[in-house]
A and B are shown apart, each in its own frame.
Chain A
Amino acid sequence: MRGNAFEAKVKADGGTELMRLLSERLSGQSPPPASGEVLVPDLSAAGPEGRTARTALALREATEARAWALLDHPLLALEVAGSPAYLEPDAVVVRPDGRWTVVEIKSFPMIDGSADAAKVGAAARQAAVYVLALERVALHTAGAEVADRVLLVCPKDFSNLPAASVVDVRKQLSVTRRQLARLTRIEDIAAGLPEGTTFDLGHCSGEELTAAVESVAAAYAPECLSACELAFHCRHRARAEGAVETLGRGVRGELGGLTTVGAVLAAAHGGAGDPADPTVSALRRAAALRAEALAAAGASGAPADGAVDGSGPAVSAIGSANEAVTCR
């Protein structure tokens, strides 16, 4: 694949090209190190613990040696909800002044100096997690400091030549720190599950697995669809419950204490809810205005300013266009 070939190209020759990009973007005037000057430690070891230990050692050694070093696919550990999660950045560069910089190599292009904002945002969030994990290692390393600006390397324009840009991840760092601190510990979640619950695919049937998954509370939102493999399952459940979040996270905020589709519509159409509640009264007004506008348009097609233009009923025309739906 193009992505892997590009990453290999960026790191080739002991990282000469990568170091040049890094110096150009981050070191001001100082020249990049000569190719022999950069240590490229071997990070291979058995198992994730072994590899994280090896990475930490290499970081420490390079920092003590006040040398340039390129760590290719180091392995870092970060505690998430009480359990270790292993993370593998594309590269980490150690500079002689003890500064560690996360490098992310992506295959989306940087055209005329800018790349797709959504993709850059995702890369920044990802890199922030690496920075957090690195900070834990730096804590135990004298003279080390983790940069809160990371280097993003992408193909330049339409070529496979690298282009780099510096991304400030301070905001993503504070968001991630907050989220990590708020997470419920896995042990606490497990403690609330029925005795004997297992997610082990090898040791339970499909039904048992479904039951196990359902026993864990989920907070589905449409964003899950692009991030989590359980999304269709959770969506199905949330829809069955009539949860308003299925329509978007923002929707919940608009609707105050009303959490289900049925409750909102009942309140809006006067069947339930306290009219003194500002959410309920706003909903009723919205529903009345909507119904009035639809009725007006259906009856005369008159635009709002009263300039009747004789156009036919707008809304009812739709159902009659009974074209074949292609995706059937």
Chain B
Amino acid sequence: MSLISTLARLEAVESGRARPLATVRHRRISDEPLVLVPLTTAGEAGAPLGALVGTDRDAPRLLTVAQPRDRDLRFAFLGELAEAVLPYLDTYAEVIEPAERNETDPETGKRVKVEVELCVDAPQLIVPSRPGIDFVRLLGRSMRFRRTAEDDPDTPYPAPPRVPLLGRWLTHYGERARVPGSSLLLAATDLLNRHWATGQSSLEDQHLGALLAWIDPPEGVSGAEAALRAELDRDRGGQLRCPPAGPATDPAFDNRLLAPAIEGYDRARQALAAAEDGPGAEEQLARLSAAERDIRELLAGVMRPTWDAVWHGLDLLRALPEGERVADRWTRDRWSFTGHRDRVRAGEPPQPRLDDAVTAAQKLASRETAQAQLEAQEALDDPLVFAGRRLSGEAFLSEVTEVVMAYSESKRPSPRPLVTVRTDDRPHLEAGTKVFRSLDGKPQSAEFVRSSAEDADDNDADGVLVLRLTDRMGRGKEPAPGSVPEKGDRIAWTLFEHDQRGGPKLPDPEETPWTHGGPPGADDATPPHARAEAHAPDPVTEEDFL
């Protein structure tokens, strides 16, 4: 935590209300996000218990599993989830615009431009909390290798039709969520924590109800007090008034309400099975439906507050104007979505269980680039983030006091004006350090020449810096109009680059060096059956939890 964010937390403690950590919104919030509130079963290592899902805040779709140990019921749940999510993804997959992409021509090996499709917008998934993102990954992993009856008529437990496809999409979204600055799959808590500092620790900030209470407490109550209530208040039956945002449930709910309801359901099922087609069957069937309805009501009751909280959080976030460079990152998300759409359409197999060495290294490198890019873009978009970089000596705000024209010493001299600026900041500069400013949205660079200590009569020489502009002034001898600052201009400089580029290029997976295991599948030591197994379904056992 930077000192500025720490201060924001302390201010929040003092004022009893969250304080801003950003002045613009640093993530895209789609006009029509799909919100997913999942629940898992206690003690069942992540077996789904229920979910609220949908794009209409007033009408979530309720999905439940009455008996989480029953594979058929779990499969039915996953099938319904696929029917709730996939049509949403499909609507975005169809709306496209033409775009160009650089590709390597397989024959000539040259880089060429290819015409491709790019989806004009991408579907966005919002879950309440970070464990929700992990659960999306878990669901994706468990579903993408499943076989449907159509894939394989002999499969012992065929999955409902579109479940493997949903698995591939959730896997894609789960992976994308690891890329810093991506907005395809977001947790409401992460979003809120990025933009506000509360008067509690980051551990407590994982509680969505408490977090919202700090940011937007009800009338007449301080954020601190409202947060405490959200954490601890229970009704007379001992149930939390603000249930946890999941996917885990509160033990008091599991033991006192859910367990008896599930037992009731089990009994009703046994009674129905015993009645067979006899005279009592109809009555037993009605009992079973009633038992199932009970469970649905219970689950809806603990998920609905979280559902509403997520939308409440989105309202708060939407009230912030979007940062200028958010659109740039969203375009990358659109490419990511389109790319996966194309892989699915091309009939490629599901993502492997483990990445090969090159893919893993590539992912890591691109995430590092994305991180650097995010940090730079957030600072440029937001004076409050920029202030943090000023504090750490990585940026400075200055006023131009003098511009002296100068030229490079080459045969065709180019303009290299010397710009003298005054600053109260303390950037970490040494002779030759490169600095950047934004000129019409593009970076212009300069190098640090000296602190203007020569001006002996200036007692404040400390804050006077001489910079030499080095680019973006056009091709002529005279700099292009507007490309050189003028006396009195206030300019923000950074010591970091504005456009972060990727590191050294990695080989294609087919070229993986032997030191890193060689190309996937080509290894002689890998027996053919092992290669086929990469996409094989998981072995099934009677007691599977997912």
Contact = CB atoms under 8 A, between A and B. Distances in A.
Interface of A: 1-3, 5, 107-109, 111-113, 116, 155, 157-161, 222-223, 225-226, 232, 242, 244, 246-248, 250-251, 254-255, 261-262, 264-265, 268, 282-283, 285-287, 289-290, 292-294, 296-298, 301-307, 309, 311-312, 314-315, 317-318, 320-328
25 contacts: A109-B545, A112-B141, A160-B543, A222-B200, A246-B13, A246-B200, A247-B13, A254-B1, A261-B14, A265-B7, A294-B20, A297-B382, A301-B24, A301-B321, A303-B381, A304-B380, A304-B386, A305-B437, A305-B438, A307-B440, A321-B319, A325-B226, A326-B209, A326-B309, A328-B241
A307 B441 contact: yes
Given A286-B391, A294-B20, A246 B201 contact: yes
Given A109-B46, A297-B23, A314-B320, A290 B4 contact: yes
B321 A282 contact: no
B3 interface: yes
Given A255-B6, A268-B7, A297-B384, A2 B44 contact: yes
Nearest to A317: B319
Nearest to A224: B203
Contact of B545 (A158, A247, A250, A321): A158
A222 B204 CA distance: 8
A215 B138 CA distance: 47
Contact of B242 (A294, A322, A323, A326): A326
Interface residues of B, number: 84
Contacts of A296: 383
Contacts of A287: 7
Nearest to A325: B218
B541 A289 contact: no
A264 B4 CA distance: 12
Interface of B: 1-4, 6-11, 13-14, 20, 23-24, 43-46, 134, 138, 141-142, 199-204, 209, 212-213, 215-219, 226, 229-230, 232, 241-242, 305-306, 308-309, 312, 315-316, 319-321, 323-324, 353-354, 379-388, 390-391, 437-438, 440-441, 490-492, 538-541, 543-546
B379 A222 contact: no
Contact of B438 (A116, A261, A307): A307
Contacts of A2: 43-45, 543, 545
Contact of B9 (A232, A247, A324): A247
A111 B13 CA distance: 41
Nearest to A108: B45
A113 B354 contact: yes
B384 A250 contact: no
Contact of B14 (A1, A113, A265, A297): A265
A109 B45 contact: yes
Contacts, number: 217
Nearest to B543: A160
Contacts of B7: 264-265, 268, 283, 286-287, 290
Contacts of A314: 20, 23-24, 320-321
Contacts of A324: 218, 308, 312
A326 B321 contact: no
Given A158-B544, A159-B541, A247 B200 contact: yes
A63 to B, nearest CB: 36
Contact of A157 (B43, B226, B306, B538): B538
Chain A CB count within 10 A is highest, among B11, B14, B45, B323, for B45
A294 B23 contact: yes
A293 B386 contact: yes
Contacts of B387: 289-290, 292-293
Contact of A289 (B4, B11, B215): B4
B203 A225 contact: yes
5 nearest interchain CB pairs?
A327-B242, A297-B23, A305-B438, A222-B201, A311-B321
Nearest to B18: A318
Contacts of B9: 247, 251
Contacts of A320: 319
Contact of A111 (B141, B229, B490, B544): B141
Contact of B241 (A225, A286, A312, A327): A327
Chain B CB count within 10 A is highest, among A268, A307, A314, for A314
Contacts of B383: 292-293, 296-297, 302-304
Given A158-B546, A327-B241, A1 B541 contact: no
B326 to A, nearest CB: 11
Given A160-B543, A293-B386, A305-B438, 11 more contacts: A3-B43, A159-B543, A225-B203, A246-B201, A283-B3, A289-B390, A292-B383, A301-B23, A307-B441, A326-B305, A326-B308
B95 to A, nearest CB: 27
A247 B6 contact: yes
Contacts of A160: 541, 543-545
A231 to B, nearest CB: 11
B212 A327 contact: yes
A298 B321 CA distance: 12
B229 A327 contact: yes
A108 B213 CA distance: 32
B249 to A, nearest CB: 15
A302 B491 CA distance: 13
Contacts of A111: 138, 141
Contacts of B324: 303, 307, 309
A303 B7 CA distance: 22
Contact of B43 (A107, A223, A309): A107
Given A286-B391, A290-B8, A325-B217, A304 B381 contact: yes
A327 B46 CA distance: 25
B437 to A, nearest CB: 7
B375 to A, nearest CB: 13
B213 A261 contact: no
Contacts of B213: 325, 327
Contacts of B14: 261-262, 265
Chain A CB count within 10 A is highest, among B1, B23, B382, B391, for B23
Contacts of B312: 323-326
A3 B42 CA distance: 11
